Structure 1
Amino acid sequence: MRILFVTNPFRSHLYLQVPLAWALRNAGHEVCVVGPPDMADDIAHTGLPNVSVGEWLLLEERMAQAPPVDDSMGVADPRGQRTGRSVQTDFGWGDPHAELEDLTTGVREVFFPDATIHDLVNFARMWQPDLVITDPTAFHGAVAARVVGAAHARMLFTVDRMGQLRAACRPGFASVGDPMRDWLQPILQGYGCDFDESTVVGQWTISPMPLWMWRPEGVHYIPMRNVPFNGPATTPRWLYEPPARRRVCFTLGISHRDANIDGTSASARDLFDAVADLDIEVIATLNAKQLESVPNLPDNVRAVDFVPLNALLPTCSAIVHEGGCGTFAASLEYAVPQVIAPNDFKVEKWWGSVAMATGLEERGAGVYAANAGRLTADVLRDSLKLVLEDPSFAANAAQLRNETIATPSPHDLVPLLQRLTTEFRTSRP
């Protein structure tokens, strides 16, 4: 088979796809990864064949210029009170159709203008994939799959936010319209194809999230173990030395390291204030920009620009992060109790970090401290002390690891993907 992976312009999304892409390649299938020119070097460093489509997106520059976060809706906890925490079912509770319109407009204008869709269709016609596996908002991949008769699967990176919105809005499409159909149907018709729901949610959906994570109804999910991939990196030798004290990892992720998004992330200063007096060793994977607000590091903090989590986490007793999919998966893989403070940028927390934090806390393997914009040093310190001092968190994290490694791996999924591709692929146009 020929399998085309279509990624969005975030390394964390790409890195999630890499283990499955290599599993298919090692099984003898041809693989190609498509992304915007911004991602060309990152894709090349995975060792996978790749091609760029569309124009440069310059996404970090756009995000740095984004307006302040709109908190007019507020958030509600399960008891209906305004708090610093959210629940996944709050997403779009005021007007899900308006949320779907906003998502559609943003994806079209920022990520995939019509010219990018046509560029990918032209490449797909030339390369003729049998299966197209797309990021959940990479709709140009869905169009290309339909045009060339390929099977189309989505690969989630966290929670199925699109599936959630579609389920909430579907009953009203007849009366208020469907913004996704309005956008994609004319393009598809130009190629002699029609729009249907699988254009948006795929013919099936590969989910790397644990089975205990929240998910919407009405989508064909196939579970897959999220095998953490950290990209090319050099591991410092000190990381292999046993820590003298309990070690804690602090990370704010890799997707937006260079964007200046005020008020949406926990500040490095607050993080360090929370741990300065604790008897722990902190490894903070922060770059120079993220450390601008910190004049001096506490004695128990070592700041490093980047270290691969698969080398760092086996030495850690806890991790503090914002709910990134790769960080979450690596923490499960190495049975590390987690303290999560979901990023507040726009609606990013609804892409999974709220559901991760809530689900992890319900399983007793971590703490949902607060949404990052409302996180204080006191709240963080109390949350971290709880997971470090109560041994049940480590025991429950070990149980979740056992469940995780029992989930089908990317290698295990290959025969199923072959069968589904044969079932859903159509005759060549």
Structure 2
Amino acid sequence: MRVLITVYPAVAHLYPVVPYAWALQSAGHEVRVASHAGFADTIASTGLVPVALGDAGSPEPRLRDDARQPPTPEDVNAYARALGLSPEEREHWIAFYQWNLNPASDYVRADLPDAPDLVEFARAWRPDLVLWDLVFPAGAVAARAAGAAHGRLLGSNLDYFAFSQERLATHRDAVRDAGLATDPLGDLVRPLAERYGMTVDDELLLGQFTVDPLPKGLSLSTATTKVAVRKVPYTGASVFPRWLYARPQGRPRVALSLGESTRRYVAGDWGRTPKLLAALAELDVEVVATLSPLQLEAVGTLPDNVRAIEWVPLTQLLPTCDVLVHHGGMGTLSSAVAAGIPQLVCDTDDSLLFRPASAAPAEVDSGTYRVGREFGTETGQAAEEAAGWLHPEKNLLATPCASYVTDQGAGVRLDHQKQSVEEIRAEIHRVLSEPAFREAATRLRDTWQAIPSPAEIVPALVALAERRP
């Protein structure tokens, strides 16, 4: 069987699907992974065969001046009212409409070469199955053009797309009466679909099935057909650092990781990093902090018990640690679950809503997101004066991750906005010293290990591919 996988060009999107790709490849199937040409080397580094889309010398669509901006808060709230959403449901809608439609718009554009390149490759290679990243809907168009079965990969995301599409369908009349577009996702996909003579329907937008790696308590309830799979952590391959060989004598090791994606686009860390390090400084622990230079700018002198390193695979680091303090990313959470260690998840009471930075004092920059900026790139530096948006002081998935961990008894929630350094320190000490947290983390690991592995779902994927018309 030939399997084509599409991923958004970021390791936060690639790494979650590597175990699926390798499971299929190891079972004897041909696998290709398609993404922007500038991301091809990263795909190849995982041992998978890349398909380069577009021009490697051109900026990624998200870094272009004409990239889609987040909708205004007024527009977001108008939909929430028309849809009759509860406060919790409103957060799911924000995650879909303000956050995820932006990356979904990047690689479905008919006026850029990436999506047409994908369709033409699929037509020529003739895959039997296309597995497409939740925010890479061009994969569905390519599958239909090639006559292939296709399904979505949630990766490290909740299924905000199906959740929102179902509510839009239920309240279509109310949305129309409010003067709002009744199908924002369909409107994004339609120009590409019509270029190839296709009608936009639910199957094109939501796939024939969905590979869902999230357990009960995390996964959103939707009407989609789901293939349940265990989220096996993959965090890249590199030489195992010698200093990780030996555990510190007589004191615990604490890992601190605040994510990869946000630091690419958002300046600063809202004062969170200095506060966490100050709390850890007075504890008798060894701290390994995976922080970038940008995240460390506001820290000053590192505490003596902290080793800062920009990158080390969590699959190498976490089995040597006693607890993890993190930003509430799904990939990071699953790595801690696999290691069987307790977690302290950084979360706030902020809504996920983006707000224009123009509404804030002129000196505000920390936490500001700007379309067309990625730190460490020439394109990003050139975009410093572009209009910005105030990013809420947390990760997209911080609240569901924090709720899941605390509901399971495997950790606690940290709020840098409300808790003092002393209160944060006391929480870290509590998780380190109370055996109940470690016992709950062990039970949580056992629960996840009972979910089918990527290798175990390969027969189901083959059967789904064989059912295509």
> For residue 259 of structure 1, what is the aligned residue in structure 2?
265
1:296-351, Cα deviation, whole Å (9 max, x unpaired): 11111111122221221112111011122221111000111111114967579685
Contact residue 247 and residue 253 of structure 2 kept, 8 A: no
> For residue 355 of structure 1, what is the aligned residue in structure 2?
400
Contact residue 108 and residue 189 of structure 2 kept, 8 A: no
> For residue 82 of structure 1, what is the aligned residue in structure 2?
none
Contact residue 15 and residue 231 of structure 1 kept, 8 A: yes
1:218-250, Cα deviation, whole Å (9 max, x unpaired): 122221111111112122112110222111100
- Between stretches 98-107 and 219-228, larger displacement belongs to 98-107
Contact residue 70 and residue 102 of structure 2 kept, 8 A: no
Question: Counterparts of 1:5-404 in structure 2 under 5 Å?
Answer: 5-55=5-55, 56-58=58-60, 88-91=88-91, 96=93, 102=98, 106-107=102-103, 109-114=105-110, 115=112, 116-156=114-154, 157-174=156-173, 175=176, 176-244=181-249, 245-262=251-268, 267-342=272-347, 346=391, 351-370=396-415, 377-404=421-448
Contact residue 87 and residue 355 of structure 1 kept, 8 A: no
Contact residue 212 and residue 229 of structure 2 kept, 8 A: yes
Q: 1:402 to 1:180 in 2, by over 3 A?
A: same
Q: Which amino acid aligns with 1:272?
A: L
Q: 1:193 to 1:227 in 2, by over 3 A?
A: same
1:193-214, Cα deviation, whole Å (9 max, x unpaired): 2221122221111111122314
- Identify unmatched segments of 5+ residues in structure 2: 78-85, 353-368, 370-390
Indicate the percent of aligned positions where both proteins have the same amino acid.
Answer: 36
- Give the deviation of 1:155 after TM superposition: 0.9
1:35-57, Cα deviation, whole Å (9 max, x unpaired): 11232221010110111213544
Q: Which runs of 4+ in 1 moved over 4 A?
A: 55-63, 65-75, 98-105, 342-351, 372-376
- Between stretches 403-412 and 114-123, larger displacement belongs to 114-123
- Between stretches 323-332 and 172-181, larger displacement belongs to 172-181
- Give the deviation of 1:25 after TM superposition: 0.6
CA distance in 1, matches of 2:158, 2:241: 33
Contact residue 60 and residue 258 of structure 1 kept, 8 A: no
Contact residue 7 and residue 133 of structure 2 kept, 8 A: yes
Q: Pairwise CA RMSD of aligned residues?
A: 3.2
CA distance in 2, matches of 1:291, 1:69: 31
- Between stretches 413-422 and 306-315, larger displacement belongs to 306-315
CA distance in 1, matches of 2:145, 2:393: 31
CA distance in 1, matches of 2:74, 2:425: 29
CA distance in 2, matches of 1:44, 1:347: 34
SS in 2 for 1:217: coil
- Give the deviation of 1:16 after TM superposition: 0.6
Contact residue 339 and residue 367 of structure 1 kept, 8 A: yes
Q: 1:376 to 1:16 in 2, by over 3 A?
A: farther
Contact residue 271 and residue 377 of structure 1 kept, 8 A: yes
CA distance in 2, matches of 1:306, 1:210: 28
Number of residue pairs matched by the alignment: 408
Contact residue 193 and residue 200 of structure 2 kept, 8 A: yes
CA distance in 2, matches of 1:66, 1:247: 42
- Give the deviation of 1:106 after TM superposition: 2.1
SS in 2 for 1:31: strand
Q: Which amino acid aligns with 2:317?
A: L
- Between stretches 207-216 and 298-307, larger displacement belongs to 207-216
Contact residue 120 and residue 141 of structure 1 kept, 8 A: yes
- Give the deviation of 1:408 after TM superposition: 0.6
